[in-house]
Amino acid sequence: MGLKTTYGTEPKYYDHVAWFMGDLILNYNRQAGVVDFAGAVYKEMTLRQMSYRVSDHFPLWVEFVVDRSAEQMAVTLGIDPATPDPLDTVPV
Q: What is the pLDDT of residues 44-82, one digit of tens each?
A: 888 788 878 877 778 888 888 887 788 888 888 888 888
Return the domain boundaries, the chain: 30-83
Instruction: Give the whole-angstrom CA distance, residue 15 versus residue 92.
Output: 48
Q: For residue 10, name the pLDDT band (cuts at 50, 70, 90).
A: low
Averaged pLDDT score across all residues of the chain: 77
pTM over 0.85: no
User: How many other CB atoms sit within 10 Å of the CB of residue 37?
Assistant: 13
Q: What is the pLDDT of residues 13-42, one digit of tens each?
A: 555 566 667 776 778 888 888 888 777 777
Q: For residue 12, name the pLDDT band (cuts at 50, 70, 90).
A: low
Letter string b/e over residues 53-85, b meaning 16 or more CB atoms within 10 A of that residue's CB: ebeeebeeeeeeeeeeeeeeeeeeeeeeeeeee
